[in-house]
Chain A
């Protein structure tokens, strides 16, 4: 158990809908990272937050947004869902930046868009 909790584990929804994925980082970790893992794209970095502020942005679509709350949990919002958004979404957390600390990953949320 990495200490990073993601909910829900599985999500099935229809095209055009909006969903929210939740991540609770390890106790004491200030950084949260979101990744999308699909069969053809590998593990794509979406966005990183550090202590409530956006720190780095990757290949995140405009239909997607995220935030980190004062209690340090984070949510990833996916809207106007398309079939191609079906993937495994991972959250990771670390104490600080990745320069000197490792990131711990949650079990992921498997999103299926039908």
Chain B
């Protein structure tokens, strides 16, 4: 069945460091791919999305490119801030099954 695998956390970085959180997926057909962010005590918020191969989603300095050949959707940011500290979830949305499947989440902690 469909699945999403993220790199395990926690990831701890200093402010202004470069961030990469790896995400790979398995799916039948061509899913849409998403990154969601969850701040402490809150629900999930959509960060960015891509709906087809080679699409690049971007928002708030974060970006991710839909790579069909490597079935990946890695999240990157050039310079993280303390306010980016949160849990990041990669997700795959299948038009075939109607399911929105999440990875296990990666906790990011940014230190001043």
Asked, given contacts A48-B98, A103-B100, whether A42 binds B42 with beta carbons under 8 Å apart, the answer is no
- B interface residues, Cβ below 8 angstroms from A: 31-32, 34, 36, 42-46, 49, 51, 89, 93-95, 97-105
CB atoms of B43 and A100 under 8 A apart: no
- A interface residues, Cβ below 8 angstroms from B: 2, 4, 31, 33, 35, 42-43, 45, 48, 50, 55-56, 58, 90, 92, 97-100, 102-108
CB atoms of B43 and A98 under 8 A apart: no
Q: Which residues of B contact A45 (CB under 8 A)?
A: 99-102
CB atoms of B51 and A42 under 8 A apart: no
Asked, given contacts A48-B99, A56-B98, A99-B93, whether A42 binds B43 with beta carbons under 8 Å apart, the answer is no
Q: Which of B43, B46, B93 is the one whose CB lies under 8 Å from A97? A: B93
